[in-house]
């Protein structure tokens, strides 16, 4: 078993077998953008990939998640000088294109690999924090629209700091060296077309 989280999209997550399309996977942890993707109308559900006793997956409204991701990336692009680099600009452009191409109802975050390998079902705590993350991004964006946001507000954001730490692998790599290519990918470790 690998050690990753991954997300996929579907129109009916209760269907069996589920008809889903891969979206992205990330090694060793849950990428903060995944949390934004499932932060709209979130529900904890059992994995749709493996049988399990405890719920380790989260489903969210795709359109609301897309809106949160795009708002957050826009804020970072405008206010955080460290991310005003070509590779990140390309990533933001690609993200907009990919998210706007998908016409689905739901996005599902699967965490079972990390839960199983760590022995810790962190999903309930993660789920509890989603409404705070959503509120934080919406408040920052409202300040931006009102002309009251500055770079310091972004840097004080707990979510931004999680995003930045994950992106630079806790100081192991420079922002210029982050490989944003293939962040969004249909080719996942698990074939979701059962």
The pTM of this model reads: 0.91
CB 126 within 8 A of CB 30: yes
Residue 190 lies in a domain: no
Residue 32 lies in a domain: yes
Residue 192 lies in a domain: no
Q: Residue 194: pLDDT above 50?
A: no
Longest dimension (CA), the chain: 49
Residue 172 lies in a domain: yes
Taking residues 150-162, report their average pLDDT: 97
CA distances from 88 to 84, 97, 106, 179 (A): 7, 14, 26, 9
User: Mean pLDDT, the chain, as a whole number?
Assistant: 88
- Using DSSP's 3-state secondary structure scheme, residue 59 falls into strand
Q: Of 146 and 187, which is predicted with more confidence?
A: 146
Residue 19 lies in a domain: yes
Residue 187 lies in a domain: no
Taking residues 80-93, report their average pLDDT: 93
Residue 29 lies in a domain: yes
Residue 185 lies in a domain: no
Q: Residue 52: pLDDT above 80?
A: no
pLDDT of res. 184: 87
**Number of domain units in the chain:** 1
Report percent pLDDT > 70 for the chain: 92
pLDDT of res. 120: 72
Q: Which residue range(s) make up the domain with 115?
A: 4-177
């Amino acid at each position: 078993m690998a050690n990753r989280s991954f997300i996929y999209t579907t129109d009916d997550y209760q269907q069996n077998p589920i008809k889903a399309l891969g979206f992205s996977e990330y090694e060793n942890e849950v990428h903060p953008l995944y949390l934004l993707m499932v932060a709209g109308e979130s529900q904890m559900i059992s994995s749709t990939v493996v049988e399990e006793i405890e719920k380790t997956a989260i489903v969210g409204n795709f359109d609301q998640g897309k809106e949160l991701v795009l708002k957050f990336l826009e804020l970072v692009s405008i206010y955080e000088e460290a991310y005003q680099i070509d590779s990140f600009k390309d990533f933001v452009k690609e993200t907009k294109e990919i998210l706007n191409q998908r016409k689905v109802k739901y996005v599902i975050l699967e965490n079972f690999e990390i839960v199983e390998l760590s022995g810790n079902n962190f999903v309930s705590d993660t789920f509890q924090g989603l409404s705070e993350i959503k509120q934080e991004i919406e408040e920052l964006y409202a300040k931006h629209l009102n002309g009251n946001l500055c770079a310091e507000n972004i840097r004080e954001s707990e979510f931004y700091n999680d995003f930045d730490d994950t992106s630079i692998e806790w100081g192991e790599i420079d922002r210029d060296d982050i490989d944003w290519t293939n962040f969004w990918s249909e080719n996942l470790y698990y074939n979701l077309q059962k």
